[in-house]
Structure formats: C-alpha cells, structure tokens
Structure 1
Amino acid sequence: MRTLHFTSPTGPVHAEITDLVIAGWTGRDAHKLQEHIDELAALGVAPPATVPCYYRAGLETLTQAPLVDVLGHDSSGEGEWVLIETAGGRFISCGSDHTDRKVEAYSIMVSKQMCPKPISHAVWPWEEVAPHWDSLEIHSEIREGGQWVTYQRGGVAAMRHPDDLIEKARALGVPKGPGLLMFGGTLAVQGGIRPAADFRVTLHDPVLGRSLSHGYTARTV
C-alpha cells in the first residue's frame, strides 16, 4: 500500500493506494483514437487487439516530486486526468504517464513500469466536476529552445468517461473500489511524440474557473 497526500477544496485528502492502473487507447472518437494509434505506430508500437486496455504498474512509480530520474533519452510525458478511489469518495487529479518510447516498441508493459508516474498535489472531489465532466479541458506543455510550447490540448470528452472505464475494467477483472488510482488515457500530441526534460500538465475546469496542474523535470541517468 502507498499513502499519498493531497490538498482539495474540502480539506486534506490522504489516499491509501493499493492498485495503480493505466488505461490506454481510451479515445471516444474513432478518428482521434486513430491519430494516437498512428503516432505510436510511427514509433513501432503495435495497437492492442481490443480497446480500451489496462496496464498495471508498481506503486513505487507514483511520485509528486518536481524532479524524477529516467534511464536514457527516449522517454516522454503524457498529460492525463487521474481518478483516485478512496474510502472517503472519488477524487480527480492530473498527472503524466511518463513512458520510455524505445522500450514501448517491444513491450508496453515494461515501458510503463520503468518510468515514474508524476501526479499533482491537488485534487477535486468527483461530485464537484461530475455534472459538467465533459466540459473539462486538459493540456500539456514541454520546454523546447528555452520556451514552453503546447504539446497536447483538448477536452476530456475526447476520452472515455471515468464511469465507462471503471465498468469495462471491472468486466476484465481489474481491481476496483477504494485503493484504485487510474490514469485515464491521453490525447494526440502536436508536432509528434518527442522527449523533453521539462513537462507540465494542466486539467482546467472552465465551468468553475479553476485548474489543477503539475510540472516536473526528467533527469537522465
């Protein structure tokens, strides 16, 4: 078990995590999903037989640190919303499914396991965003040439709804209930998948006028 500490509009949240699950290929729109399939195919990554799919990863990969260590120069971030199930209810965070792209070409499971999974320090109670979930926006940025540039941008409506992902995960025997932390899938990138040392992700709620964000630097070792 891993205990993570968050801030929220309703007070501190202490989440006891027992299972880390990374949902993949979660696009609702077939065209947008194909865009993501194509950009990964360009890196030699074969799509799964069925979508969505779910990958397990070790709890030790979860981090809220601003600096993480990665092996080599072939990894990159992916901005995602993150669902956290606790005994006190469901919460939403944001994070990065940092992945080694070279390794991903021969084993998605290994590529997921070998990289840290940075997540934000703040969360929102599910009840506060559930009524207008599809209005939420997610975007990520990378630092290139000394400037922050847009890497991903779009609405969470482009990805499967959290309830849908949970239902499909349950049917496949994926752990559920309190203790689950699930990354919800990602968007296609602008300009092609590429490594960058500095990455930041933001989940924006235009209805309530607020954002969650997390930034980190990936240090090559």
Structure 2
Amino acid sequence: MRMLDFTLDGSPIRLGITDLVIAGWTGRDAHKLQEHIDELAALGIAPPATVPCYYRAGLETLTQDAAVDVLGHDSSGEGEWILLETPEGRFIGCGSDHTDRKVEAYSIPVSKQMCPKPISAALWRWEEVAPHWDSLEIHSEIREGGAWVTYQRGLVAAMRHPEDLLEKARALGVPTGHGLLMFGGTLAVHGGIRPAADFRVTLHDPVRGRGITHGYTTRSL
C-alpha cells in the first residue's frame, strides 16, 4: 500500500492506494475517439482491439512533486481526472498520464510504467460533483515560447462516466475496490502531441465555481 497526503476542503487527509489503473480509449463520442486514435497513429501507436481498456502501473510512479525526471525527450503529459476509492469515501482530483511516446509505439503497457504519474494534492468528494459531473471541464496547458498555451480543453462528458468505467473494469477483473486510483482517460490535443518541459492540468467545476490545478516541470535525463 502507498500512503499519500491530500487536502480535502483545505484540511489534510491521508489515503492508502493499493492499485493504480489507467483507463484508455475512454471517449464517449466515436468521432472524438477517432481523433485521439488518429493522433496516436501518427506516432506509430496502434489502438487496442477493444475499448475502453485498462492498464496497470506501479504505485511508485505516483507523485505530487512539482518536478519529475523523465528519460530522453519523447514524453508528454495528458490531462485527466482521477478517481480514488477508499474506506473514507470516493474522491475526485486531476493528474497527468505522462507517457513516453517512443516506447508507446511498441508497447503501451510498458510506456505507462516508464514515466511518473503526477497527481493533484487537492481532492473533491464524489458526492459534491456527481449531480453535475458532465459539466466539469479538463484544461491542460504547456509552456511554449515562454508562454502558457492550451494543450487540451473539453468537458469530462467527452469521456465515459466514472460509473461506466468502473462497471466495465469489474467485468474484466480489474481492481475497483478500496485502494483504487484510476485515471479516467484523456482528450485530443490542440496542435498535435508534443513534448514540453512545463505542463499543468486543471479540473474546473463551473457549478461550484472552483478548480483543482496541478503543474509540474520535467527534467530530461
């Protein structure tokens, strides 16, 4: 088990994580999903036989640090919502499924294990966002030319609902009980997939007028 410290309503909370699962190819809209398939195909990455799919990754890849190390110059971030299932309740945050694209071209599971998985320290209770889930927005940015530019932007409604992902995961024997931390899938990018040293992702709740942001800088080894 990996114990991680978070904040909930401004107060600290420590939660135990036993399984890291990364859901992939989670688009609800077939056309938007095809966009993501096409942009990855341009990098030589073949789609799975069925969607959605689930990848396991080591707990040691989880990080809340503002600086992480990656190997080479072929990795990039992906802004996503994250879900935690714990005895203390279900929680929602955001993170980046940072992935080595060169490795991804020959093995997606290996690429998932290659890079750190930055996640937010702040969380929301599921009950606070469940009634208006589809109105939440994911916005990721990269720093290019000294300025922050939009890399991804869209509603979480573009991806499968968390309950749907959990149901399908259970049917496949993927861990979904207490201790689960799941990445919920990502959006197509603006301007094509590309590396950037500085990345940040925001999960925005327009109904409650709040957001969770996590940013990090990569150092290429």
**Structure 2 length-normalised TM:** 0.99
For structure 2, the residue ranges without an aligned partner over 5 or more in a row are none
Q: 1:23 to 1:181 in 2, by over 3 A?
A: same
How do 1:11-160 residues align onto structure 2 when only pairs under 5 Å count?
11-160=11-160
Amino acid at match of 1:71: L
- Deviation of residue 12 (structure 1)? 2.4
Give the Å deviation of 1:15.
1.1
Structure 1 match to 2:208: 208
1:141-184 Cα offsets, whole Å, 9 max, x none, are: 00001010000000000000000000000000001111000000
Moved more, 4-13 or 74-83: 4-13
CA distance, structure 1, for counterparts of residue 11 and residue 175 of structure 2: 27
Residues 35-94 of structure 1, C-alpha deviations (whole Å, 9 max, x = no match): 000000000000000000000000000000000000000000000000001111000010
The corresponding residue for 2:5 is: 5
Cα-Cα RMSD: 0.7
In 1: Cα distance, 2:216 partner to 2:10 partner: 26
Identity among equivalent positions (%) equals: 83
**How many residues were matched structurally?**
221
Tell which deviates more after alignment, 100-109 or 5-14. Answer: 5-14
After the TM superposition, which residues 181-192 of structure 1 pair with which residues of structure 2 at under 5 Å, given as runs? 181-192=181-192
- Aligned partner letter, 1:67: A
Aligned equivalents of 1:89 and 1:164: distance in 2?
A: 18
Tell me the amino acid that sits aligned with residue 160 of structure 2: R
Q: 5+ unaligned residues in a row in structure 1: which ranges?
A: none
Q: Secondary structure at the match of 2:190?
A: coil
Give the match's secondary structure for 2:143.
strand
Deviation for aligned residue 1:11: 3.2
DSSP 3-state at the match of 2:38 = helix
- Between 1:5-14 and 1:70-79, the stretch displaced more is 5-14
Alpha-carbon distance, 1:13 to partner: 2.2
**Alpha-carbon distance, 1:10 to partner:** 7.1
Counterpart secondary structure, 1:134: helix
Structure 2 CA distance for aligned equivalents of residues 106 and 19 of structure 1: 24
Distance in 2 between residues matched to 1:10 and 1:66, nearest whole Å: 19
Structure-2 separation of matches of 1:125 and 1:12: 13
Task: Give the whole-Å Cα distance in 2 for the aligned partners of 1:121 and 1:55.
Answer: 23
Q: TM-score, normalised by structure 1?
A: 0.99
Question: Which residue pairs with 1:198 in the alignment?
Answer: 198
Report the Cα offset of residue 137 of structure 1: 0.3
What amino acid does structure 2 have at the position aligned with 1:199? Answer: F
